[in-house]
């Protein structure tokens, strides 16, 4: 590879979107500056914040935990801790999540589908096969996992819930929302209800391959396997399209992110003027948040015959 454009050391990465080659030191500096800027601009971290990090053990969530823990020294009276959801999928293990929490001295809480819902994800998927129109695995998993993360983060006193979503994830989500005509999802997450723990995504401006390199450079042990069900999802199809766009037109991901960020406030304004669309209710069965009368989790449990 070439030498670093900033200091002439040997480079470890070429950023095609900016035409820069960087050495390890200059790359780490750029990466951390970018994350700090994202956090500052979006007010993701304030003094007194108790931040729960959704820790799967993959590279993204490990890097988020590592960076937030490091940053927490700058915010008086703040706390960073980790929540892991054990969906009960074959071959998943949480040793890596446990070990990073030990290393960083972070409190770690694990909650399982089995204990909280009485069934594992594998069992949920087995039951869903009896339905007329079963949804793809990731949508069941997502509904149950997000429900549990919000509920447990709140019960543990979190003021924010941090997830590892990187630039590629944000771009995929945006494209999926567009294709499905589901624009209200661009404003989801601004609900001010006391039962809702606001989400933060410190890596939203970091391309996936850069998160991976950052984890490698710090020797952070990460779980290399993504979920076995992911390949079957709509997201993975969209991901391939986004990758090929980026390949042919470097910088596409950042351009899509800019569109998302411009669209957000416009959509918010339009939805806020329409009170009915922004209304949040309490599920009449479990008391958690819903836009209707029964939340998605309770609805699915009834549908699938899970007590």
Rounded to a whole number of angstroms, the minimum distance from the CB of residue 294 to Zn ion is 6
Q: Are strands 289-290 and 281-282 parallel, antiparallel or unpaired?
A: antiparallel
CB closer to Zn ion, 82 vs 298:
298
* Binding test (CB under 5 A) with Zn ion, winner from 1, 2, 3, 7: 7
CB 10 within 8 A of CB 4: yes
CB 63 within 8 A of CB 203: yes
**Which among 4-12, 37-45, 76-84, 109-117 is the span making contact with Zn ion, rule CB under 5 A?**
4-12
**Position 9 contacts Zn ion (CB under 5 A):** yes
**Position 12 contacts Zn ion (CB under 5 A):** no
**Position 26 contacts Zn ion (CB under 5 A):** yes
Query: Using a CB cutoff of 8 Å and minimum separation of 24, what contacts does 216-220 make?
Result: 217/12, 217/24, 217/27, 217/28, 218/66, 220/59, 220/62, 220/63, 220/66, 220/100
Rounded to a whole number of angstroms, the minimum distance from the CB of residue 101 to Zn ion is 30
CB closer to Zn ion, 189 vs 292:
292
CB closer to Zn ion, 6 vs 268:
6
In degrees rounded to 5, what are phi and psi of residue 227? -60, 140
How far, in Å, CA of 248 to CA of 199, rounded? 32
CB closer to Zn ion, 167 vs 283:
283
Rounded to a whole number of angstroms, the minimum distance from the CB of residue 301 to Zn ion is 8
* Cα atoms found within 13 Å of the Cα of residue 26, Cβ hemisphere only: 17
**Position 211 contacts Zn ion (CB under 5 A):** no
**Which among 19-27, 45-53, 63-71, 115-123 is the span making contact with Zn ion, rule CB under 5 A?**
19-27
In degrees rounded to 5, what are phi and psi of residue 23? -80, 175
Site for Zn ion in 245-304 (CB under 5 A): 283, 285-286, 295, 298
Compute the Cα dihedral for 230, 232, 236, 240 and give only its sign: positive
Rounded to a whole number of angstroms, the minimum distance from the CB of residue 18 to Zn ion is 14
Residues in the site for Zn ion, rule: CB under 5 A? 4, 6-7, 9, 23, 26, 283, 285-286, 295, 298
């Amino acid at each position: 590879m070439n030498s670093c454009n900033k200091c002439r050391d040997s480079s470890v990465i070429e950023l095609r979107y900016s035409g820069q080659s960087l050495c390890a030191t200059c790359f780490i500096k750029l990466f951390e500056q970018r994350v700090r800027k994202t956090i500052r601009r979006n007010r993701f971290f304030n003094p007194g914040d108790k931040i729960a990090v959704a820790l799967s053990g993959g590279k993204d969530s490990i890097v988020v935990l590592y960076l937030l823990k490091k940053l927490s020294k700058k915010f008086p009276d703040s706390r960073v801790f980790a929540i892991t959801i054990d969906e009960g999928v074959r071959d998943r293990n949480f040793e890596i999540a446990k070990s990073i929490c030990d290393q960083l001295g972070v409190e770690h809480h694990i909650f399982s589908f089995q204990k909280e819902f009485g069934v594992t994800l594998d069992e949920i998927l087995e039951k869903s096969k009896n339905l007329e129109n079963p949804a793809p695995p990731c949508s069941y998993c997502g509904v149950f996992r997000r429900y549990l993360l919000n509920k447990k983060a709140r019960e543990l006193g979190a003021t924010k819930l941090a997830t590892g979503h990187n630039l590629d994830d944000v771009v995929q989500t945006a494209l999926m929302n567009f294709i499905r005509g589901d624009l209200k999802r661009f404003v989801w997450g601004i609900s001010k209800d006391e039962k809702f723990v606001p989400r933060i995504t410190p890596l939203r401006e970091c391309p996936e391959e850069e998160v991976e390199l950052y984890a490698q450079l710090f020797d952070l042990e990460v779980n290399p396997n993504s979920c076995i069900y992911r390949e079957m999802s709509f997201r993975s199809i969209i991901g391939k399209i986004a990758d090929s766009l980026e390949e042919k037109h470097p910088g596409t991901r950042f351009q899509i992110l800019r569109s998302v960020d411009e669209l957000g406030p416009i959509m918010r304004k339009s939805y806020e003027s329409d009170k009915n669309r922004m209304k949040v209710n309490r599920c009449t069965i479990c008391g958690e948040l819903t836009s209707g009368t029964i939340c998605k989790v309770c609805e699915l449990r009834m549908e699938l015959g899970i007590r």
